[in-house]
């Protein structure tokens, strides 16, 4: 080796790392808004089809001042919360039963597989026939839309709790009730909360769709009315509200995950 | 408490895993169970611990459990089986929570076993913060917290590195010297069996049948002494001779599955 060529070993392990830059999303948002504003000011984006960001802000301000913002958000939130709670509670119960009991799984899996793919908004006319044009039909649509993904995620989460933990609990003689509450429920919690994220997004989509079909108040009804009157600044303001509502729900779920899944 | 096995057999559907197993683990004795992969060692342990239903023959315990025993047949698992969301103390507490113990007594038991297993400073740590050896110490602490009559240990050291295994073997010898618990110890490691067991039950390849029972006549606490090295090596070689051919065939069978 003494007279042969020496070369320092080159580092080849760079890149492909996980992690994030906290400033990057803010910069991206700012750039998108700046480009949008510039396109509107220069006439590249006609105001009739796409309002400038500052016009959307003004529309939001006007909604805030005259109180309409709270009326529409309040109506949508009420439907989302009631529908989501009903659908989630039923979905959790059925999903847990399917994860634990062989008979419930044998019956539940084919039924869920058959009904899950149906677009739930297609059932709204049926619900209007059953429950009338008022709140119950919209809440039922949201609840049903939330129910199936909750069943699937809960069943899957329970099914994925490591069997060795359940065997361990059995070997120490824990009664079934305690195995469920102390082993299966906490073990399934990550999957259940992941399911909550999906079901909350579905609830948001369904509330807008349901409000577009038959409602006086609510963000969906507001966006539809603005579109009919070609008030694009109001329309986009409604869309921004939906985005903010989705972000708020996502933030709340993140807080819940941080509290319940501290051990991860 | 003794463990009595009479003509025990077991099959998963059409696959006969164990056949005609008969032996006794006497009170305070440690019996190691060795054999080639897939010979039914862990299945036999699960049968003894009641985690699998008995099919053929009979498994019984004979005698009374020691005072304060809350769970006569208690497992220590190969993969530790710790709840990742509970602290070290919380994992030990799980084994006690459904028993009618007062809070003070329960906490005293937890403190005692954590101290015995060298875990006092880690009571609030989560399993993910511990090394493999420390995790298995938690598994052992949880098992002895219920003051078991019989310890059922399923390859408890196989997931650990060699140095940690040596340290834990020393700890196990010390714990057994104090507790005198009857133990059935499954392992694939002949050195572990020779070091820890009073007798070694050698199983044949599937369906597992008893090939031989080898007594280790050197007191467990004295096996680290140099004067016993030759005897222990001879026993190790004897065990290897017993299972070598079986292990070769079993290895090919496992690969062909």
Q: What percent of chain B has pLDDT over 90?
A: 68
Alpha-carbon dihedral sign for residues A34, A35, A40, A41:
positive
- Asked if A204 and A249 count as a contact pair (C-beta separation under 8 A), the reply is yes
> Higher model confidence: residue B168 or residue B92?
B92
Instruction: Report if residue A8 sits inside a domain.
Output: no
Q: Which of B194, B172, B191 has the alpha carbon at shortest distance from B183?
A: B172
Inside any domain, residue A247? yes
Query: Is residue A59, in this structure, part of any structural domain at all?
Result: yes
Q: Please check whether residue A174 lies inside any domain of the structure.
A: yes
For residue B183, give the 3-state DSSP assignment.
strand
Interface touch B98/A186, C-beta < 8 Å: no
Nearest to B51 among A167, A261, A263 (CB): A167
Cα–Cα dist A157/A186, whole Å: 10
Are the beta carbons of A172 and B74 separated by less than 8 Å? yes
Could you tell me if residue A213 is inside a domain?
yes
Say if residues A163 and A187 touch (Cβ distance below 8 Å): no
Q: Measuring CA to CA, which residue among B169, B154, B122 is closest to residue B46? A: B154
Among A149-158, B100-109, B154-163, which stretch is predicted with the lowest mean pLDDT?
Answer: B154-163
Q: Do B85 and A164 touch (CB under 8 A)?
A: no
Segments in chain A forming alpha helices (H):
23-41, 53-66, 68-100, 102-115, 124-131, 135-159, 163-171, 176-179, 185-214, 219-228, 232-260
CB-based contact A149:A195 (threshold 8 Å):
yes
B114-149 pLDDT tens trace: 998 889 999 999 999 999 989 999 999 999 999 999
Structure tokens that stand for A212 in this block: 């577009």
CA dist B240 and B234 (Å) reads 10
Neighbours of B99 (CB within 10 A): 14
Question: Has residue B110 got a pLDDT over 70?
Answer: yes
Tokens standing for residue B22: 């008969």
pLDDT of A1 above 90:
no
Which residues from chain B sit within 8 angstroms of residue A173, using beta carbons?
70-71, 98
Q: In this structure, what token pair is assigned to residue B255?
A: 């690969």
How many domains, in total, are found in chain A?
1
Worst-scoring range by mean pLDDT, A99-108, A193-202, B102-111, B214-223? B214-223
In this predicted structure, what is the pLDDT of residue A14? 85
Q: Which residues of A63-99 are buried (b: 16+ CB within 10 A; e: fewer)?
A: beeeeebeebbebbbbbbebbbebbbebbbebbbbbb
Mean pLDDT score, A233-256: 93
Average pLDDT over residues B95-123: 93
> B5 has which bridge partners?
B23, B59
Q: Give the Å distances, CA to CA, from A52 to A26, A27, A59, A105, B126.
A: 19, 19, 11, 53, 52
- Residue B59 pairs in a beta bridge with B5
Is a pLDDT exceeding 70 seen at residue A161? Answer: yes
The pairing of strands B73-76 and B150-154 is: parallel
Give me chain B's average pLDDT, please. Answer: 91
pLDDT at A167 over 50: yes
Distance in angstroms (rounded) separating the CA atoms of residues B142 and B164: 19
Q: Tell me if A182 and B97 make a contact (CB, 8 A cut-off).
A: yes
> What average pLDDT does this structure show over A219-237?
93
The pTM of this model reads 0.85
Interface test with B, best of A172, A175, A184 (most B CBs within 10 A): A172
Q: How confident is the model at residue A2 (pLDDT cuts 50, 70, 90)?
A: low
The minimal CB distance from B74 to the residues A169, A171, A186 is found for: A171
Q: What is the CATH number of the domain that holds A207?
A: 1.10.3720.10
Of A27-36, A195-204, B176-185, the least confident: B176-185
**Does A135 score more than 70 pLDDT?**
yes
Greater confidence (B174 vs A106) lies with A106
Range with lowest mean pLDDT among B106-110, B172-176, B207-211: B172-176
Q: Is residue A21 part of a domain?
A: no
Look at the block and give the residue holding tokens 């989560």. Answer: B126
Question: What integer pLDDT is reported at residue A15 of this predicted model?
Answer: 84
pLDDT tens per residue across span B50-61: 999 999 999 999
Q: For B224-246, what is the mean pLDDT?
A: 90
pLDDT, position A244: 92
Across residues B160-169, what is the average pLDDT? Answer: 86
- Nearest CB among B77, B85, B146 relative to A168 is that of B77
Q: Which residues of A touch B (CB under 8 A)?
A: 164-165, 167-175, 178, 182-183, 186-187, 261, 263-264
Is pLDDT of A88 > 50? yes
Chain A nearest CA to B143, separation (Å): 9
Of A123, A113, A159, A114, nearest in space to A143 by CA: A123
**DSSP category for residue A180:** I
pLDDT tens readout for residues B4-38: 999 999 999 889 999 999 999 999 999 999 999 88
Domain that holds residue A111: 53-260
User: For residues B138 and B131, is the Cβ–Cβ distance under 8 A?
Assistant: no
Residue B257: band (very low, low, confident or very high) from pLDDT cuts 50, 70, 90: very low
Judge whether A38 lies within some domain.
no
Task: Given the cut 0.95, state whether the ipTM is greater than it.
Answer: no
For residue A32, tell me if it sits in a domain: no
Give the bridge partners for B4, in sequence order: B24, B60
The CA distance from B99 to B70, in Å, is 7
Please tell me which residue of chain B has the smallest CA distance to A168. Answer: B81
- CA dist., res. A197 & res. A184, Å (int): 20
Q: Is the pLDDT of residue B168 over 50?
A: yes
Range list of β-strands (E), chain B:
2-12, 15-25, 30-34, 56-62, 73-76, 150-154, 182-186, 199-203, 210-215
Average pLDDT of chain A, as a whole number: 92
């Amino acid at each position: 080796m003494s007279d042969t060529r020496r070369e320092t070993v080159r580092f080849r392990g760079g890149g492909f790392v996980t992690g994030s830059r906290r400033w990057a999303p803010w910069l991206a948002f700012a750039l998108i808004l700046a480009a949008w504003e510039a396109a509107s000011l220069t006439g590249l984006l006609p105001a009739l089809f796409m309002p400038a960001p500052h016009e959307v802000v003004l529309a939001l301000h006007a909604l805030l001042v005259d109180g309409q913002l709270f009326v529409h958000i309040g109506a949508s939130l009420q439907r989302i919360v009631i529908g989501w709670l009903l659908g989630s509670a039923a979905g959790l119960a059925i999903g847990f039963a399917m994860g634990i009991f062989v008979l419930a799984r044998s019956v539940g899996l084919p039924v869920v597989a058959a009904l899950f793919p149906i677009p739930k908004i297609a059932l709204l006319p049926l619900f209007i026939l059953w429950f009338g044009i008022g709140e119950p039909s919209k809440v039922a649509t949201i609840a049903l839309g939330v129910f199936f993904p909750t069943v699937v995620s809960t069943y899957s989460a329970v099914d994925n709790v490591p069997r060795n933990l359940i065997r361990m609990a059995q070997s120490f003689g824990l009664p079934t009730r305690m195995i469920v509450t102390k082993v299966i429920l906490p073990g399934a919690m990550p999957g259940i909360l992941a399911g909550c994220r999906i079901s909350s997004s579905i609830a948001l989509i369904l509330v807008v769709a349901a409000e577009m079909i038959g409602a006086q108040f609510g963000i969906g009804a507001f966006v539809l009315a603005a579109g009919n009157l070609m008030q694009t600044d109001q329309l986009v303001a409604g869309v921004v509200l939906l985005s903010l509502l989705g972000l708020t729900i996502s933030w709340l779920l993140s807080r819940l995950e941080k509290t319940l899944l501290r051990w991860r | 408490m003794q463990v009595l096995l009479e003509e025990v057999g077991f099959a998963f559907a059409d696959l006969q895993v164990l056949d005609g197993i008969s032996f006794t683990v006497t009170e305070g004795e440690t019996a190691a169970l060795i054999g080639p992969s897939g010979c039914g060692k862990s299945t036999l342990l699960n049968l003894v611990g009641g985690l699998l239903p008995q099919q053929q023959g009979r498994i019984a315990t004979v005698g009374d459990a020691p005072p304060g025993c809350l769970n006569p047949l208690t497992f220590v698992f190969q993969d530790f089986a710790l709840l990742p969301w509970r602290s070290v103390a919380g994992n030990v507490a799980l084994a006690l929570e459904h028993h009618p113990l007062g809070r003070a007594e329960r906490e005293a038991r937890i403190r005692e076993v954590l101290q015995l297993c060298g875990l006092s400073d880690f009571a609030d740590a989560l399993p993910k913060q511990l090394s493999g050896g420390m995790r298995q110490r938690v598994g052992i602490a949880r098992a002895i917290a219920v003051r078991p009559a019989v310890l059922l240990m399923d390859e408890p050291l196989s997931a650990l590195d060699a140095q940690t295994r040596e340290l834990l073997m020393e700890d196990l010898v010390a714990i057994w010297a104090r507790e005198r618990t009857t133990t059935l110890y499954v392992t694939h490691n002949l050195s572990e069996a020779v070091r820890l067991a009073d007798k070694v039950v050698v199983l044949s390849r599937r369906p597992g049948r008893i090939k031989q029972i080898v007594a280790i006549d050197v007191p467990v606490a004295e096996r680290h002494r140099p004067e016993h090295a030759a005897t222990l090596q001879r026993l190790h070689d004897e065990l290897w001779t017993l299972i070598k051919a079986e292990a070769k065939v079993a290895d090919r069978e496992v690969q062909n599955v």
